Structure 1
Amino acid sequence: MMLIEQTTVPGAALPVQALKDHLRLGSGFADGAMQDGLVESYLRAAMAAVEGRIGKALIARVFKLVLPDWRDPAGQALPVAPVSAVESVTLVDSAGAGTVVAASRYRVMPDRHRPRLVALGTLLPSVPVDGQVEVVFTAGFGASWAAVPADLQQAVLLLAAEYYEHRLEAAQAGAVPRAVQALIERWRNVRVLGGGAA
């Protein structure tokens, strides 16, 4: 399985000013925008860390999932939530030729943690021998920061502030502040039975 992020979060969608306010950075100076690039980089790092821990895209973007075969031909779990749309499903043969599957053959079964691409009918279409299937989908709470749930917004701001304030110190590998852990806990995906349907 390979998950490829096809689009990135545009800078305009990031809460740069909200983080600057959170950090109580001065404003009104001639070089007031000098910190924007640094603040944006810490926001992106904090978002990536939170998304990695909860398995969800905060701001909507397009992903491509590449699989050698369906894990379950009746329905394939998608690794990022929440999914708003499946753009395409393409079967690729061993020579690299792709065949787009008609949208009438599948649908998205929404789920807070593990949305699934399910067959409309009996099974999802067969993947060619030595080929692969590519699923392009859009995932995220919405296109703007305002669409992100308030507790996840706060977690990102707290973590970005932590990165900013300790930027000159040696990093503690994998350390996430307790306040951030508490905010993201209800969003974490708890797998049971070894993730068999994942």
Structure 2
Amino acid sequence: MMLIEETGVSRDALPLAEFKAHLRLGTGFAEEGLQEPVLESFLRAAIAAIEARTGKVLIRRVFHWTHSEWRAPDGQPMPVAPVTAITSLTLHSRDGDHEGIGPAFYRLETDAHRPVLRPQGAMLPAIPRGGTAEIVFEAGFSENWAGLPADLAQAVLLLAAHYYEYRDETALGGGCMPFGVSSLIERYRTVRLFHGSAG
């Protein structure tokens, strides 16, 4: 399985003004423009960390998912949530041939935690032996910062501020996350019901 982010979070979607206010940074100083790329990098790092921890996409964007085997013929859980649309489904053979599958053969079962690709009939189109299924889809809570759930938006600001405050610290444990952030994102974390093959 390979998941590729086709479109990133645009700079316009980042809450730079809110982050500056959260940090209580002054405005109007000559070096203000020099600090913005640094603040942007902390926001991007915080968004990435929270998305990785929760399996939820915050700002809406396009993903490209290549899969070699369905978990079950009657439904394939999507790798992230919330999925808003499936743009295309293409089957690729081992020999390089490909077949576009129309939406008459599949549907998206929306769910806040575990969206599923379902067949319109009894079974999903069979993936050729040694081949792959390529799914292009859109996922994310909102196209802009204002549309995010308030607790997730606050978690991003808290974590970005934590990164900012400890930007010179090299002894922090890998994967550490402040308790306040963990408590805000806990209800968004996906309960793993499946183990093993073909995630």
Q: TM-score with structure 2 length normalisation?
A: 0.95
**Distance in 2, Cα, partners of 1:30 & 1:129:** 61
RMSD of Structure 2 on Structure 1 (CA):
1.4
Shift of 1:196: 8.2
Q: Which residue of structure 2 aligns with residue 119 of structure 1?
A: 119
**Distance in 2, Cα, partners of 1:185 & 1:48:** 16
Q: Which residue of structure 2 aligns with residue 190 of structure 1?
A: 191
Q: Which residue of structure 1 aligns with residue 101 of structure 2?
A: 101
Q: 1:77-121, CA deviations, whole angstroms, 9 ceiling, x for partnerless residues?
A: 001100100000000011222211011111100111110000001
Q: Report if the CA contact (8 A) 2:6-2:63 is conserved.
A: yes
Q: Which residue of structure 2 aligns with residue 181 of structure 1?
A: 182
Q: Report if the CA contact (8 A) 2:71-2:197 is conserved.
A: no
**Distance in 1, Cα, partners of 2:30 & 2:38:** 17
Q: How many residues align structurally?
A: 198
**Distance in 2, Cα, partners of 1:71 & 1:116:** 11
Change in Cα spacing, 1:22 to 1:55, as seen in structure 2 (3 Å) is: same
**Distance in 1, Cα, partners of 2:88 & 2:70:** 15
Q: Report if the CA contact (8 A) 1:57-1:141 is conserved.
A: yes
**SS in structure 1 of the partner of residue 169 of structure 2:** coil
Change in Cα spacing, 1:194 to 1:94, as seen in structure 2 (3 Å) is: closer
Please identify runs of 4+ aligned residues in structure 1 that moved more than 2 A: 192-198
Q: Report if the CA contact (8 A) 2:85-2:137 is conserved.
A: yes
**Are positions 1:77 and 2:69 aligned together?**
no
Could you list the runs of 5+ residues in structure 1 that have no partner in the other structure?
none
Q: Which residue of structure 1 aligns with residue 169 of structure 2?
A: 169
**Distance in 2, Cα, partners of 1:71 & 1:159:** 34
Q: 1:116-167, CA deviations, whole angstroms, 9 ceiling, x for partnerless residues?
A: 0000011111111211000110000011011110000000000000001100
Change in Cα spacing, 1:191 to 1:197, as seen in structure 2 (3 Å) is: farther
Q: Which residue of structure 1 aligns with residue 142 of structure 2?
A: 142
Shift of 1:192: 3.1
Change in Cα spacing, 1:37 to 1:181, as seen in structure 2 (3 Å) is: same
**Distance in 1, Cα, partners of 2:194 & 2:165:** 40
Q: Bigger CA drift: 56-65 or 91-100?
A: 91-100
Q: Report if the CA contact (8 A) 1:72-1:197 is conserved.
A: no
Q: TM-score with structure 1 length normalisation?
A: 0.96
**Are positions 1:2 and 2:6 aligned together?**
no
Q: Report if the CA contact (8 A) 2:54-2:188 is conserved.
A: yes
Could you list the runs of 5+ residues in structure 2 that have no partner in the other structure?
none
